[in-house]
Structure 1
Amino acid sequence: MFKTIKKYYAAWLYKRAVRKAKKLAELFGMKYYVIHLGGSLKVVPKQTIKELIKRKRFRKGVTVEDIERHALFVTT
C-alpha cells in the first residue's frame, strides 16, 4: 500500500511541475524543462540551463541537447 501511495504522490508532483512549466512558458514565451535535479523535480528555463552548464554544474561535455533529451517534459 505504501508503494501505491508513493506512485500517486510522484505522479501528482510530476503533473504539478508540468502545469507550472506550461504556465510559465505561456507567460514568458521561453522554453522550460521539467528535470530531476538535486533529488526533486525542477522547472527550469533553457536560459538557466545554459548558465548552469557554463558554471560546470553538470559533468564535462554535457550540452543543452543532452539535457533536453533526458528531460521529463519540455515545453514548445
Structure 2
Amino acid sequence: MIQLIRRLIFAWKYKRAVRTATRLAELTGMRYLVIYLNGSLKVVPKQTIRELVRRHRFRKGVTVDDIERRALFITK
C-alpha cells in the first residue's frame, strides 16, 4: 500500500515536471530535461547542464550525453 502511494506521488510530480518543461521550452525555445537529482525531479535547460559539466560540477568523466541518456524526459 505504501509503495502504491509512493508511485502515485512520483507520477504526479513527474507529470507536473513534464508540463513545466514543455511550457518553458515553448516559451523560450530552449531544450529542457527532467532529471532525477538529489532525491527529487528537476527541470533544467540543456544549456545549464553544459555549463555545469564545463565547470566540473559533475563527477569526472560525465558528459552531457550521459546526462541526456539518464534524463526521464527531454523536450523537442
What TM-score, normalized to structure 2?
0.94
- Show the counterpart of 1:21: 21
Report the residue type matching 2:36 in the other structure. H
User: How far off is 1:3 after superposition?
Assistant: 1.4
User: How far off is 1:63 after superposition?
Assistant: 1.1
Distance 2:51 2:37 in 1: 15
Identity level (%):
67
- Show the counterpart of 1:32: 32
User: How far off is 1:55 after superposition?
Assistant: 2.0
Distance 2:54 2:37 in 1: 17
Q: Is 2:64 the partner of 1:55? A: no
Distance 2:38 2:54 in 1: 18
In structure 2, stretches of 5+ residues that fail to align are none
Alpha carbon RMSD of aligned pairs, Å?
Answer: 0.8
- Matched residues, number: 76
Give the secondary structure class of the aligned counterpart of 2:27. Answer: helix
In structure 1, stretches of 5+ residues that fail to align are none
User: How far off is 1:49 after superposition?
Assistant: 0.1
Deviation string for 1:11-62 (max 9, x for gaps)?
A: 0000100000000000000000000112110000011101111221211111
- Show the counterpart of 1:5: 5
Distance 2:16 2:55 in 1: 28
What TM-score, normalized to structure 1?
0.94
